[in-house]
Amino acid sequence: MIRILARPALRATQRRCASTVSTTSTSTTVSEIPLANLELRWKTMSTQDKASVTKHLEQLQAGDWTKMTLEQKKAAYWVAFGPHGARTPLTGPNHGIKVFAGTAGMVGVSTAIFLWMMSKGSEKPITTTKEWQEASNEYARANKINPLSGVSSENYKGSGFVHISKD
């Protein structure tokens, strides 16, 4: 709750201590919450203090903004747009390095699993033999597959479906 002061006392208090908010806690003691460096103390403030500071700043903004001090304007901006609550950043320091290391680790693990599976695999498929690939070339010529630029075209000089194997 914001402590209500008499008008002359309020003006004197504002001049003397323009960057503080007077609040009362549940134990009826008065505590002063300074607005200077609010962003550094926000995490350690109680929920009641945060609410009272927010309410006080809302009341100040409802009035003439030219009468607000620079610290009050900074505090109001930080409460409205600061990185707290729903605007807390999802990533922290060194996040890019962690993502890169995790991605590199997963690529390494998947490569190791792939190579292990290939070493445990059975024979190569019959379609990778040179005889099969040559038969595929003959089939393509007989059925005139891709007559513009493929095996069936005039003056074709490529190898067609035959690929050099590493056997």
pLDDT score of 109 more than 70: yes
CA distance 124 to 105: 29
- Return the minimum-mean-pLDDT range out of 85-89, 119-123, 157-161: 85-89
Residue 122 has pLDDT above 70, yes or no: yes
With tokens 């505590």, the residue in question is: 31
**Residue 77 scores a pLDDT above 50:** yes
pLDDT of residue 110: 98
Q: Whose structure tokens read 């609410």?
A: 51
For residue 10, what pLDDT is reported?
43
- Give the gyration radius of the chain's Cα atoms: 38
What pLDDT, on a 0 to 100 scale, did the predictor assign at position 126?
86
Q: Spell out where 16-117 has E strands.
A: 20-24, 30-34
Residue 11 reports pLDDT greater than 70: no
Band of the pLDDT at 5, cuts 50, 70, 90? Answer: very low
* Residue 99: exposure state from Cβ atoms within 10 A (0-12, 13-18, ≥19): exposed
Q: Is the pLDDT of residue 115 over 70?
A: yes
pTM, two decimal places: 0.41
Q: pLDDT (tens digit, 9 = 90+) per residue, 38-74?
A: 888 888 888 898 899 989 899 889 988 888 889 899 8
Paired tokens of 132: 């099969």
What is the pLDDT at residue 112?
98
